[in-house]
């Protein structure tokens, strides 16, 4: 099953089809959710990539472990902390793109206003449970990897309004991804300004996602 709007297929075909094959490509997916349904990582695993999945929901994390995936059970943010509140929003099987949503939508460190509107609209179908999770900077998470992460070809962040905090947890001077996919659910210019300041250019939109490519010279990009 492809990811939402087939963005995984598009990325593989249009951004990485001509990439050299001398090394293993690396995808880091933040807010990995389930291993298959609406998963960006699933298609990249099939393509032979190393996929590092970061997901605080213990239900989804256990599903990844059972499949032998490289899974990190943390909420990614801009600081390290234990016993942090995380809100599990269960939509109990609402049908969407040939599947059924459980915890894939709205679950987050805290429900942002734009997602609260969505939750209010679905209040008759949703249940909310608050749990405690471990929160870590992305730098901290990557440092725990058994095999060193020397490069990131693709960074995908889908954390229901907490994308800027995730970006704040990565040292871009040490490890700048070639391509970044951000969920921008509210179509906020703040997202584009922030990532532009980090040296990236917006290439295209796959609502609610936006695809950015790192510049390496004046008017040029990594792709």
In tens, the pLDDT along 131-157 reads 999 999 999 999 999 999 999 999 999
Q: How many domains does the chain have?
A: 1
pLDDT at residue 20 tops 80: no
Is residue 97 in some structural domain? no
The predicted pLDDT at position 223 comes to 61
The predicted pLDDT at position 164 comes to 97
Q: Is-contact 73 55, C-beta < 8 A?
A: yes
183: phi > 0 → left, psi -120 to 50 → alpha, else beta; which? beta
This model's pTM is above 0.75: yes
pLDDT at residue 215 tops 70: yes
Is residue 169 in some structural domain? yes
Is residue 112 in some structural domain? no
Structural domain harbouring 11: 4-78+139-216
Is residue 72 in some structural domain? yes
Q: Residue-wise over 200-222: b if at least 16 C-beta within 10 A, else e? A: bbbeeebeebbbbbbeeeeeebb
Please give the average per-residue pLDDT across 70-94, as a whole number. 97
> Residue 3 — pLDDT band, cuts 50, 70, 90?
confident
Is residue 99 in some structural domain? no
pLDDT at residue 218 tops 60: no
CATH assignment at residue 11: 3.40.50.150
The predicted pLDDT at position 19 comes to 63
Is residue 106 in some structural domain? no
Is residue 67 in some structural domain? yes
The predicted pLDDT at position 108 comes to 98
In tens, the pLDDT along 166-178 reads 999 999 999 999 9
Is residue 118 in some structural domain? no
């Amino acid at each position: 099953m492809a990811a939402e709007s087939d963005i995984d297929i598009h990325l593989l075909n249009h951004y990485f089809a001509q990439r050299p094959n001398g090394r293993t490509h690396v995808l880091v997916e933040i807010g990995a959710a389930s291993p298959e349904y609406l998963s960006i990582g699933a298609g990249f695993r099939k393509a032979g990539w190393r996929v590092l999945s970061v997901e605080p929901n213990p239900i989804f994390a256990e599903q990844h472990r059972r499949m032998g995936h490289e899974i990190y059970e943390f909420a990614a943010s801009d600081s390290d902390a234990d016993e942090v509140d995380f809100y599990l929003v269960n939509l109990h099987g609402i049908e969407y793109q040939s599947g059924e949503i459980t915890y894939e939508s709205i679950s987050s460190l805290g429900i942002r206003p734009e997602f609260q509107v969505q939750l209010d609209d679905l209040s008759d179908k949703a249940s909310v449970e608050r749990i405690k999770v471990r929160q870590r900077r992305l730098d901290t998470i990557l440092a725990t990897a058994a095999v060193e992460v020397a490069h990131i070809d693709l960074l995908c962040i889908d954390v229901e309004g907490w994308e800027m905090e995730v970006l704040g947890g990565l040292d871009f001077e040490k490890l700048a991804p070639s391509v970044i996919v951000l969920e921008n659910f509210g179509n906020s210019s703040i997202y584009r300004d922030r990532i532009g300041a980090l040296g990236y250019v917006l290439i295209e939109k796959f609502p609610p996602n936006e695809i950015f490519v790192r510049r390496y010279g004046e008017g040029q990009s990594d792709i």
